[in-house]
Amino acid sequence: MGRHGWDAGARRWRLAALLGVSAAVVALLVTLVGTLPGGGPATEGTSPDGDQVHGTPATPPGRSRPDVGWGFTHTRFSADEGSPRAVARVEDRLKGAGLPQNQHIMGWGADNPEPVQGRYDFEALDLRVDFMRASGATPVITLCCAPDWMKGGEAGAETDWSQAALETAPEPEHYDDFAALAATVAKRYPDVRHFIVWNEFKGFWNDAEHRWDHEGYTRMYNLVYRALKDVDEDIMVGGPYLVMDSLDPRQEHASPALKGPWGALDRRVLDAFAYWNRHKAGADFVVVDGSSYTRDDELLPDEFAATDKFTAVGEWVRRQTGGALPLWWAEYYVEPADGDDHRHGWSETRRVAVQAAGMIAMAKGGATSGFYWNPQAEQGPECPGCLWTPTDGADGGGELPMYGLVSRFAAAFPPGTRYEHVPVSGDDVRVLATDRTVLVVNTRDRALTAKVDGRTVDLQAYEVTWLTR
């Protein structure tokens, strides 16, 4: 949510640290090389052949659909690195589940893809794509963020991985260059058929008018959209990946039109979405993200009822697009973070239960695809909210409760699912049902007995269970 993964440093900088070379020395060497007479920007480790097909692309199963189902996003640490046994353990498990996987092109585990204009470094991104291929994923790429030289930095210098730098948008004169980079990525990985344009409007804020720069984002989006379609008309492209921020309804920018017990949407977000929706060159799916809590980290009226926001937002977005575009949630959060963006305050049982309620709410709002932001740790043993245990050791890569929820949800409720109403006694239980399956969530921190679909169900505190119909 605007804070995730900006410290996702490049692999080679981590390697330099392991070798005992300080960042200051590395920066000095890069600067010296880049300023040698006739040397120009440093290009060591880059290649002009960025658009050459990498590896062995997986064969897409026929024509791509605009929705991909429920999966996860790779962050700074993932199972593409670590003990071979642990990596293989995760690959095998994912291969059986077929979860869609999302990866950004810069940050969150990927290096600067184009340190100098026309010179590419896809080594880290190649590893992530290789992992997605090996684990049988439907791969998705988020086209964010931008190389430093596109946003005022020096070409060939050490990449600035600070939050402020990573969250800076390309300068308008470089929108075309970013679109060209997007096309290069599409050519390199022809089996990636789904692309999300940018992340959370990062850098697109109009300080003078105190609102989102939706004009600038939409201009860049349209250039990227057309560039990708020029590579292959069957590539699926979506945006705008806005954060659907909510506020206390009494605050200045609270929307009077989209509100509930959970709060009110920031009307500036709705204005930005409406502008993109009117002026986009095209879209194959629509992407949003957001949290169930307000911008002030309030869970209104409580952590479970707050997830109703996802339903309300989904229904609103579907109305704006006339129901024509599949709805994706690129990120979704139900547990407020601390100052270091950690979510360690809840028990795993409670965390999984509230996540399940959030996913139910998104599905009820019309979403057909969603990506769990996987907060994977580099080392174990503790990994709150992670999908698997860290892969640093041979015994790593073990399944964690959140993986069970995400994978089971994806299998039970794929795109095209027809949901059915089932009777439930009381307000303490959340359910989502098809003609075959019922997902049941106890929203209380105590055991209870409920009547679900005509049968009596005993539930432990915060229990998530599945019934067969």
Q: pLDDT (tens digit, 9 = 90+) per residue, 75-110?
A: 999 999 999 999 999 999 999 999 999 999 999 999
Q: 76, 8 in Cβ contact below 8 A?
A: yes
Cβ atoms 447, 459 nearer than 8 A: yes
Of 169, 309, 305, 168, the closest CA to residue 245 belongs to 309
* Cα distance between residue 135 and residue 90, in whole Å: 8
Residue 296: per-residue pLDDT:
95
pTM (2 decimals)?
A: 0.92
What digits encode the pLDDT tens for the residues 162-187? 999 999 999 999 999 999 999 999 99
- Give Rg (Cα) of the chain: 22
**Which range in 54-63, 128-137, 336-345 is most confidently predicted, on average pLDDT?**
128-137
- Whole-number pLDDT of residue 15: 33
CA separation, residue 362 to residues 87, 140, 413 (Å)? 31, 20, 12
- Per residue in 205-235, pLDDT (tens digit) is 999 999 999 999 999 999 999 999 999 999 9
Q: Write the pLDDT tens digit of every residue in 234-244.
A: 999 999 999 99
Q: Please give the Cα distance from 270 to 276 (Å, whole number).
A: 10
Q: What is the pLDDT of residues 14-55, one digit of tens each?
A: 333 333 334 444 444 444 444 444 567 899 889 999 999 999
Instruction: For residues 377 and 341, give the distance between their C-alpha atoms in angstroms, rounded to a whole number.
Output: 13
Order of strands across the sheet with 429-433? 429-433, 437-442, 464-468
User: Within its chain, how far is the Cα of 52 from the centroid?
Assistant: 26
Residue 172 and residue 151: Cα distance in Å, rounded? 9
**Residue 63, pLDDT score:** 79
DSSP letter, residue 32: H
Least confident of 57-61, 260-264, 304-308: 57-61
More confident residue, 383 or 60: 383
Q: What angle is formed at CA 305 by the lines to CA 364 and CA 297, rounded to 5 degrees?
A: 115
Provide the token pair at 259: 């509100």
375-379, long-range: CB < 8 A, 24+ apart: 375/75, 375/342, 375/343, 376/74, 376/75, 376/76, 376/77, 376/78, 376/79, 377/77, 378/76, 378/77
**For 385-440, how does the pLDDT look when each residue is reduced to its tens digit (9 = 90+)?**
999 999 999 999 999 999 999 999 999 999 999 999 999 998 899 999 999 999 99
Using a 10 angstrom Cβ sphere, with 0-12 exposed, 13-18 middle and 19 or more buried, the burial of residue 381 is: exposed
Residue 371 has pLDDT above 90, yes or no: yes
pLDDT in tens, 262-273: 999 999 999 999
pLDDT value at 9 more than 50: no
pLDDT at position 59: 79
